[in-house]
Amino acid sequence: MVDKNLENKNENLNEEIKIDNAKEKDKDVNEVNNNVDHGELGDLTDTKKATQNVDELLEKYDLDSSKLRKLSGKTALLVTVVAILMSAFHLFTAARGTLLAMQQRSLHLIFAFSLGFALYPGFKKSSKNKIDIPDWILIILSIVVWGYIFTNIEYIALKGGKMSTIDEVFGILAILLTLEVTRRVVGPELPIVTIVFLLFAYFGRHMPGILNHRGFGITRIVSHMYMTTEGIMGTPLGVSSTFVFMFILFGSFLDKTGVGQFFIDFAYALTGSTRSGPAMTSVVSSGLMGSISGSSVANTVTTGAFTIPLMKKVGYAPYYAGAVEATSSTGGQIMPPVMGAAAFIMADFTGFQYIEIVKAAVIPAVLYYIAVGTMVHLEACKIGLKGLPREQLPKISNIILKQGYLLFPLIAIVYMLVKQQPPMNAALAGIVVGVVVAFIAALVKKDGSFTYKSVLQAMESGAKGALGVACACACAGMIVGVVTLTGFGLKIAEVIVKIAQGRLIPTLILTMISSIILGMGLPTTAKYIVLATMAVPAITKLGVNLMCAHLFILYFGVVADVTPPVALAAYAGAGIAGANSMKTGFQAFKLALGAFIIPYIFCINPHLVMIDKVVGTTISWLPITAALPNIATALIGTMCLAGCVEGYLFGRLRPWQRIILIIAALGLLDPKTLTDIIGLCALAFIFISQKLLNKNKAQAA
């Protein structure tokens, strides 16, 4: 959602600056850094200097931005108007109430498909600066096919599933249009998976063993996918057309107010004096920005343009700097209060209120960032880095006084969620507060930083930023439709449990592997939808409560962005740093190791997410007094894990010490008294052994 907002800011600059390779990138970055005065934060975070190549990097690494057309003239104006109308429609329904489910979703698809076919060319040889005639035809077909649903909702409901010839023709067109627009906007992987599922629904009677089912005719499949809320217009699209779009739009408005710059300024003032300096700034600012951003790649590029050059300057290796930014940015999708789009779909899938998901996710998310922050700090200690003197950094109080008003929209959202208001209303409140505050600030400063034009730009970029999620949800809805039509989800659950021989850990490992494989091509939202449909039943069948099971697959859907061989966020970080992509990817994987262990812990013992038990969709929360010991030991365990990965704790660790330290980490992360005692004893042993070794070295010297 953030990447679209940078277009206007960098348009003129990108015409002048073109970087051909990694060496030239490094050269330009060093020239910027040589002119940086560490006593003036404004120079450190100057947008014009640091974001020279943001658009190019987004187009290269972000699936939603790659191959995006650069339109001009009347066509560009028409597309802008349609995008603004899309945002206006969602703002109106958020304020006055949504339409009937199929009407809300069909109109959402008319906007999304029209913009998708207009902005994304079909092939590499297609025009990049105008809409081709075949694309205009596809746009018209999209309007007709989904307009038919929108205008004939009562007629369709009265027919009770019976299809006329025109219904069947429109249904087939709807499926083909969904596959094609998703291929363009998201990539070919999700449509291919969807086609496999559709073929499975048709050829079911020919499938072997447990995959066999009676099979369904084309008419039945088309009816299920087109004329019900079980297919294309299923739950995923329902969430996209309400909660998700509004929060994407909220992020777009926040970006126009300059909140991203505030996060970076605040984080640098807070952490610049630590040993890890800019690296810790990256962790904090990316976590803050990521909590309102729905894209790991966009977050990596926007904040990384500032933090990665600074990390390299103070002594971090280029690949390490890129990995820190990628890992920090990716974690934003599991960081409350906003989290990523998949969290809203999770709320609808499970029946839990969104605020309950936030409450359960907050401790694991904080542990994730503590693990990453500890690792970069220990790396700084290991290579002997030092932070800046506090007097050379701006005062946090000054930043808050000058820019603290930018937090009001976030405060409004948190307040609304705590009051258990619908997420749509919370997002609307955040947008209204953000606009009002930005207008007042612009009037007081008299700098024209926020105008009515800014509102229209935010509405345009918000609509464009939502296209990837909307198309992915529509396409993934067909996968869910096949699963519900054939009962395939329960069969897959049986297969997984059978392969794992009814044991929980092997079942979780199989689920994790499935997520990582899906992560090679699918966006987080689509990965979550597929796994929620097929893998969650297997996990819950073995006694894991519903909340923890869904959080488990959400975590692994997110960390796939920093898991080689296809780690797009890490590759974007490598592009900025001028580092080897695969080396950056594996370093990011190491830094994100906490996210690979913590989900196993809360599936085994949900006390780590402050849950006592779950009955249906009713959660019995663990009292904070009872949860504090678990949180404390998990915090120490997370630091032990960081030390093991970095090979440094109180000093450099020997191989046998790292083995003992991982035992301490796992023992402390598991919220049980016995394992906590074992973990603390192991940690104490490491502390004593390191002190003795350091003492012996000092005496020998």
Instruction: Say yes or no to pLDDT of 565 above 80.
Output: no
Instruction: Say yes or no to pLDDT of 467 above 80.
Output: yes
Half-sphere exposure of 580 (CA within 13 A, CB side): 7
Name the one residue in this structure whose structure tokens are 């969620």.
Answer: 417
Name the one residue in this structure whose structure tokens are 């970006």.
Answer: 255
pLDDT at 49: 45
pLDDT at 632: 87
Rounded to whole angstroms, the Cα distance separating 320 from 424 reads 39
What amino acid occupies position 375?
M
Bigger pLDDT: 443 or 161? 443
Kindly indicate the confidence band of residue 41, based on its pLDDT and cuts at 50, 70 and 90: very low
Would you kindly state where each structural domain of the chain is located, as residue ranges?
62-240, 623-700
The predicted model gives 652-663 an average pLDDT of 88
> What backbone torsions phi and psi does residue 412 show, to the nearest 5 degrees?
-65, -40
CB 441 within 8 A of CB 450: yes
Assigned token pair, 75: 């066509």
pLDDT at 181: 96
Instruction: Say yes or no to pLDDT of 311 above 80.
Output: yes
The predicted model gives 478-490 an average pLDDT of 86
Instruction: Say yes or no to pLDDT of 292 above 80.
Output: no
pLDDT at 64: 54
Q: Of the ranges 245-254, 266-275, 389-398, which is most confident? A: 245-254
Instruction: Say yes or no to pLDDT of 48 above 50.
Output: no
Instruction: Say yes or no to pLDDT of 422 above 60.
Output: yes
The predicted model gives 486-502 an average pLDDT of 80
Bigger pLDDT: 232 or 22? 232
Instruction: Say yes or no to pLDDT of 33 above 70.
Output: no
Assigned token pair, 523: 């966006």
**Range in 23-37, 93-107, 253-267 with the lowest mean pLDDT:** 23-37
The predicted model gives 325-331 an average pLDDT of 88
Bigger pLDDT: 662 or 699? 662
Rounded to whole angstroms, the Cα distance separating 119 from 457 reads 16
Give the orientation angle of helix 22-34 with respect to helix 568-577, to 10 degrees.
60
Kindly indicate the confidence band of residue 44, based on its pLDDT and cuts at 50, 70 and 90: very low
Instruction: Say yes or no to pLDDT of 13 above 60.
Output: no
CA distances to 256, 458, 550 from 555, in Å:
29, 29, 9
pLDDT at 464: 92
Rounded to whole angstroms, the Cα distance separating 608 from 361 reads 10
Instruction: Say yes or no to pLDDT of 692 above 60.
Output: yes
Kindly indicate the confidence band of residue 45, based on its pLDDT and cuts at 50, 70 and 90: very low
Burial pattern 485-495, b for ≥16 Cβ within 10 A else e, equals bbebbebbbeb
Residue 648: strand pairing partners: 652
Rounded to whole angstroms, the Cα distance separating 392 from 408 reads 29
Instruction: Say yes or no to pLDDT of 108 above 90.
Output: yes
- pLDDT tens by residue, 338-384: 777 778 888 888 888 888 898 898 888 888 898 888 888 888 888 88
What amino acid occupies position 665?
A
- Alpha helices (H) along 487-620: 488-499, 504-518, 524-534, 536-541, 546-559, 568-577, 581-591, 593-604
Per cent of the chain over pLDDT 90 is: 23
Kindly indicate the confidence band of residue 12, based on its pLDDT and cuts at 50, 70 and 90: very low
The predicted model gives 637-664 an average pLDDT of 87
* DSSP H or E segment with residue 270: helix 259-271
pLDDT at 46: 44
Query: Average pLDDT, whole number, for the chain?
Result: 82
Q: Of the ranges 141-145, 397-401, 663-667, which is most confident? A: 141-145
* DSSP H or E segment with residue 299: helix 296-314
Instruction: Say yes or no to pLDDT of 37 above 60.
Output: no
pLDDT at 215: 87
Give the DSSP letter string of 650-684: SSBPPHHHHHHHHHHHHHHHS--HHHHHHHHHHHH
CB 334 within 8 A of CB 365: yes
CB 174 within 8 A of CB 146: yes
pLDDT at 11: 42
Residue 618: strand pairing partners: 615
- Alpha helices (H) along 160-214: 165-185, 189-202
**Range in 48-62, 342-356, 669-683 with the lowest mean pLDDT:** 48-62
Cα dihedral sign, 363-369-375-380:
negative
